[in-house]
Amino acid sequence: MQCARRIASRAEHALPVSTMVLPEKREAPLQILEQPALLLLRQGNVRIHERKSSPRQLPKGSIGYYPAGADYDGCTWTAGNDSLYCVLDLPETICASLLDRQPTWLSEIRQPLRFLDPKLMWWIDEIEQHCVAGEPNGALYTEAVSLALLTYLDARLCQRGDAAPARHESLSQQSVRKMQDYIDAHISESLSIRELALVCGYSPTHFARIFKEGFGMPVHQFVMQRRIALARNMLHSDDASLAEVAVSCGFSSQAHFNVSFKRREGMTPGDFRAARLR
């Protein structure tokens, strides 16, 4: 078994992702993981043999939850061809930070679980592909997808259904003003859902839900709108370089600024400024 690539996110509270290759027709022992993880079989097929059970064929799209430190002595897996896994780590510190509590299943579930779940598969794919692409929607988006995945996984593993009963609640005008003032004061920084939730006095999960209900968009889209609005004003009114505008508005690089601006405005920042001067 070979860990081929780790893909880093800039978000402090995003779930780490990597890819893992199983060489064709080579039997390999199941390894003890240092931290819990979800493994998504992205390509190929795998035959897994565990103690006290018959061998099982895992199809493409299979997802496994593997707890940290589980005893896999005598367990093996064999790839029918070169098989590719996407590995999403579930560090206890990040899970507790996003959910605002320590998930009980991290300590209570001691054996692997396997399932086919289109929702989980989409979220794992989205985190990996977004990070591979350089996070064009911003690190806040990676954190938002991580939070959505964890909220769903927490409900599934605790057998509470898809979601907790919704409470009809909205952000107060005071909370909205505090949040907007905080975003504007820290727009050049890498904001997180957790810190915005703390500003408003909510847990990240609760904040993300009532924010979307109240604003009709997720947090990351709202923050991106504020960044783009500031960038438009700067491109209209001062002579700062495009790189300086990118930094001032909280984009990770000029390339990230170009991609994000063009996606929303239909032209690059350079073309937008040039049009102003005509």
Q: Model confidence over 110-151: pLDDT tens digits?
A: 888 888 999 999 999 999 999 888 888 888 999 999 999 999
Residue 52 has pLDDT above 70, yes or no: no
Return the H-helix or E-strand segment holding 92.
helix 92-99
Question: In the predicted model, what is the mean pLDDT of the chain?
Answer: 84
Sheet holding 83-89, edge to edge: 2-7, 17-22, 83-89, 37-43, 63-66, 113-115
Residue 131 is which amino acid? C
Residue 175 inside a domain? The answer is no
Task: Please answer whether residues 78 and 28 qualify as being in contact, where contact means their C-beta atoms are separated by less than 8 angstroms.
Answer: yes
Instruction: CATH number of the domain at 97, please.
Output: 2.60.120.810
The pTM for the full model equals 0.84
Residue 135: predicted pLDDT: 87
The pLDDT tens digits for 6-31 are 677 777 888 999 887 776 655 555 66
Total domains in the chain come to 1
Does residue 234 sit within a domain?
Answer: no
pLDDT at 3 over 70: no
Predicted confidence at residue 72, as pLDDT, reads: 60
Domain with 65, as residue range(s), is: 2-157
Classify residue 75: in a domain, yes or no: yes
| Residue 45 pLDDT level (bands cut at 50, 70, 90) | confident
Q: What stretches of 1-79 adopt beta strand conformation (E)?
A: 2-7, 17-22, 27-29, 37-43, 46-49, 56-58, 63-66, 76-79
pLDDT at 31: 62
Q: Pick from 92, 152, 98, 166: which is nearest to 124 by CA?
A: 152
Whether 241 is covered by a domain: the verdict is no
The pLDDT, as a whole number, for residue 85 is: 82
Within-domain flag for 76:
yes
Burial of 238 (0-12, 13-18, 19+ CB in 10 A): exposed
Torsional sign, CA 273, 274, 277, 278 = negative
Residue 145 lies in a domain: yes
Is 100 among the domain residues? Answer: yes
> How far is Cα 201 from Cα 196, in angstroms, rounded to an integer?
9
In a domain, 7, yes or no: yes
